[in-house]
Amino acid sequence: MNSIRYVDQMDLDGKRVLLRVDLNVPLRNGVVADDSRILAVLPTIEHIIGEGGMPIITSHLDRPGGKRVPELSLRPVSERLSELTGDKVAFVDEVTGPKAEAAASSLKEGSMLMLENLRFDPGEEVNDESFARSLASLADAYVDDAFANAHRAHASNVGVTRFIDDVAGGLLMKMELQALEGVLVAPERPLVVAIGGAKVSSKIATIEHLSKIADRLLLGGAMAFPFLRAKGIDVGDHRADGEAVERAKRMLDERPGSLVLPEDFAVDDGGRREVDVTGLPEDMNVLDIGPRTIDKFASELKAAGTIVWNGPMGKFEEEGFDVGTRMVAKAISASPAYSLVGGGDTNAALDRYEVRDRISYVSTGGGAFLEMLSGRELPAVKALVRQTVNA
């Protein structure tokens, strides 16, 4: 799908490489609490250094709103990266400016530099041309390895590509795009997709696109409510807005056999109580799928050739209401099919049930993952394609 050059196709010897990564990691008492995102980009960093390049590492951390927020500094991240690599990572408390320029120009072979939080500068999130040009001036080449941010058109992943000719995707970006393109373009059939979660508005476009290419689309959590209502089942007005219901009706008309809906749910009645979809209490929270639905979903997953999963089946963090999510995770991990899983809550479920190592590929992206599943072009990927074609 995407004609992108990657970092393993670049001549990096003696070049300063502006490297955009996603190091938006949790900090606790000024220390990195989870270094999985750092570990994910280590192969790209090590490749650049191994090929004689000098990485200038850039990332955002949280949402400081274009202001300098000391507790959101990337300094602790640079310290953790130093520990993981065994090499000193120089850190400069600027994003652009004289100190950043001096630090970048003084880089020697085998050394690396990390800049301060990109979002300390208001120009980052608005894709300011002047800010993008200043970032680009620090380096000879550019590599984007931040797939999780590829759905954002910011200065550090889109604007900067206008001012550096030598651009490429990183090794993590390569794996992410290949994994997603594999299931969207040429999956082993049947392609079974499980979609859950609580916010229908953020996923209805994804469901629409996937309904056209998936053999079976399993809808759990709140995702099922518009479709049940479209079939004439009373789920309560507050559980399905009108627009989502209209879109659900179109999907049911176009691909009625591909959509697999719940037959029962678990509600909070002072504890777990299971009810048929035709008897949902208006005044009780629906927090999980029920046993008949779990069996139906598990059967579909067992027959799959390729599996995609995004979104828990209910409020799995709450005791007594994790059954659906746990059983879906177990069914996917037990399947010999190629499995692709993405999304923050979904990835957390993999860890909770200790099945991550039995999933074929776990995406680091949340929003970007959903955007690609929706069939949309990611701005940062488009920028790399354009620059690669024009190179």
> Quick one: pLDDT at residue 194?
98
- What is the C-alpha to C-alpha distance for residues 69 and 120, in angstroms, rounded to an integer? 7
Instruction: Give me the architecture of the 7-173+378-390 domain, per CATH.
Output: 3-Layer(aba) Sandwich (3.40)
For the chain, the structural domain boundaries read 7-173+378-390, 189-336
Sequence length of the chain is 391
Closest CA to 328 of 290, 296, 363, 297: 297
Q: Which two tokens stand for residue 108?
A: 């020697």
| Active-site choice (358, 367, 375, 376) | 367
The one catalytic residue in 63, 67, 189, 199 is 199
Structural element, H or E, at residue 153: none
- Active-site annotation holder among 20, 37, 229, 247: 37
Cα distance between residue 342 and residue 337, in whole Å: 16
Q: Which of 154, 162, 146 is nearest to 7 (CA)?
A: 146
Phi-psi region of 232 (alpha: psi -120 to 50; beta: other; left: phi over 0): left
The DSSP annotation for 328-356 comes to: HHHHHHH-SSEEEE-SHHHHHHHHHTT-G
Active site residue 80: no
pLDDT in tens, the chain (391 residues): 458 999 999 999 999 999 999 999 999 999 999 999 999 999 999 999 999 999 999 999 999 999 999 999 999 999 999 999 999 999 999 999 999 999 999 999 999 999 999 999 999 999 999 999 999 999 999 999 999 999 999 999 999 999 999 999 999 999 999 999 999 999 999 999 999 998 888 899 999 999 999 999 999 999 999 999 999 999 987 788 889 999 999 999 999 889 999 999 999 999 999 999 999 998 889 999 999 999 999 999 999 999 999 999 999 999 999 999 999 999 999 999 999 999 999 999 999 999 999 999 999 999 999 999 999 999 999 999 966 655 5
The domain 189-336 having CATH identifier 3.40.50.1260: the answer here is: yes
| CA angle 180–185–190, rounded 5-degree value | 95
Indicate the helix (H) or strand (E) that contains 177.
Answer: helix 171-185
By CB neighbour count within 10 A (0-12 exposed, 13-18 middle, 19+ buried), where does 140 fall? middle
Does the fold of domain 189-336 match that of domain 7-173+378-390?
yes
Residue with tokens 């507790």: 71
Whether 199 is catalytic: yes
Whether 291 and 314 have beta carbons less than 8 Å apart is answered as no
